[in-house]
């Protein structure tokens, strides 16, 4: 491992009073969710924070508070989750991007967005991709495995998705996903150098180019045979609904099965973050969008032959320059909502 110091050019005020950006993220998560210091969110988030999700986006701190209070009521014994990793990288002398992977658990003991308490336990993962400047989160890309939540609670995903097709649980407005809005806005032709979080340091350009090439070759050009060139033979991928694929064949099949749903699907990488440490090795975080047409296998009901956008987040753990472990998340309920919305639109024509 090299002697590179990721803190060398980062002003300590960017993450004060904590030891480093990793400690900043994990400590704030504990103070807000475990200690229930929800009112301290103002110390952590900027007043005009932008939060991007697959359902829409919000632009102020009040929405964060409102949604968080509801979740604390619904899951009094959990909801904040346990931090699995923080992949961070500098963005200017007073800023950094943090991709925080969380394993969430809890018991649904109170009323929530989806209705009365079920009394059931749930487990799911979330990745929060946060841009921090001057000690506060100013922008966030949030990807949840909401299907796993509903599955655990015994709630019908199609019913929830149908409701969401009419009104987003985040914004309260009709879902309207456009190419030029929210997490889909703009284009980043060279994400290895600059993505949604800004320009990257040059140190890890080769690794970032390798990840971009993997998405282009394996996913976009359907060279599933090239997985072996990018992944360790013992690769393990954890993905939505807590599914797991181990070794090359299963990893290939997992990609093939998703693309079979969207046969013309293409991955667009929108951000990359690289973090290296002597304790945890090299990890890479990615924000991506899959653009495709729901015209393949009917995983989400009868094909609509309409466009779908899938906002995703991935963490890679590298070993000897290859992917050893991957955590790949996207919100299937948001995908279902787009498909059901297309069906509703066709029925009214």
Q: Which of 261, 233, 258, 264 minimizes the C-alpha distance to 312?
A: 258
| pLDDT tens readout for residues 257-293 | 999 999 999 999 999 999 998 888 999 999 999 999 9
pLDDT digits (tens, 9 = 90+) for 293-304: 999 999 999 999
Please name the residue ranges forming H helices in the chain.
21-29, 41-44, 61-74, 146-153, 157-166, 205-214, 227-230, 247-261, 332-348
Structural domains in the chain plus CATH codes? 12-154 (3.10.450.50), 182-348 (3.10.450.50)
More confidently predicted of 213 and 170 = 213
3-class secondary-structure state, position 202: coil
**What does R_g of the chain's alpha carbons equal in angstroms?**
20
Predicted confidence (pLDDT) per residue in 73-127, tens digit: 898 887 567 789 999 999 999 999 999 999 999 899 999 888 999 999 999 999 9
2 Rama sector, left if φ>0, alpha if ψ -120 to 50, beta otherwise:
beta
Q: CA 249 from chain center: how many Å?
A: 25
CB 237 within 8 Å of CB 227:
no
pTM listed for this prediction:
0.93
Question: Residue 63 pLDDT more than 90?
Answer: no
């Amino acid at each position: 491992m090299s002697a590179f110091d990721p803190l060398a050019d980062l002003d300590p005020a960017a993450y004060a009073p904590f030891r480093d950006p990793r400690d900043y993220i994990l400590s704030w998560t504990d103070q807000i969710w475990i200690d229930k210091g929800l009112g301290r969110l103002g110390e952590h988030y900027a007043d005009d924070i932008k939060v991007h999700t697959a359902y829409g986006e919000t632009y102020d701190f009040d929405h964060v508070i409102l949604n968080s209070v509801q979740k604390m009521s619904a899951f009094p014994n959990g909801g904040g989750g346990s931090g699995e990793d923080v992949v961070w990288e500098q963005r200017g002398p007073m800023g950094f991007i943090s991709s925080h992977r969380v394993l969430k658990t809890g018991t649904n003991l109170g009323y929530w967005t989806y209705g009365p308490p079920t009394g059931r336990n749930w487990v799911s993962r979330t990745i929060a991709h946060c841009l921090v400047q001057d000690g506060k989160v100013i922008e966030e890309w949030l990807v949840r495995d909401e299907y796993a939540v509903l599955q655990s609670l015994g709630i019908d995903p199609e019913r929830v998705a149908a409701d969401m097709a009419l009104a987003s649980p985040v914004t309260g407005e009709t879902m309207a996903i456009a190419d030029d809005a929210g997490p889909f806005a703009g284009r980043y032709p060279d994400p290895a150098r600059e993505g949604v979080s800004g320009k990257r340091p040059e140190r890890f350009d080769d690794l970032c180019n390798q990840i971009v090439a993997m998405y282009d070759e394996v996913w976009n050009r359907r060279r599933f045979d090239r997985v072996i060139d990018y992944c360790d033979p013992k690769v393990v991928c954890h993905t939505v609904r807590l599914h797991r694929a181990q070794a090359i064949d299963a990893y290939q099949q997992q990609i093939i099965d998703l693309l079979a749903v969207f046969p013309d699907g293409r991955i667009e990488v929108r951000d990359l973050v690289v973090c290296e440490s002597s304790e945890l090795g090299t990890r890479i975080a990615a924000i991506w969008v899959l653009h495709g047409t729901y015209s393949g296998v009917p995983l989400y009901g009868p094909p609509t032959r309409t466009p779908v956008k899938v906002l995703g987040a991935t963490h890679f753990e590298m070993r000897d320059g290859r992917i050893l472990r991957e955590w790949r998340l996207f919100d299937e309920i948001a995908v279902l909502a787009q498909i059901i919305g297309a069906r509703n639109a066709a029925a009214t024509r």
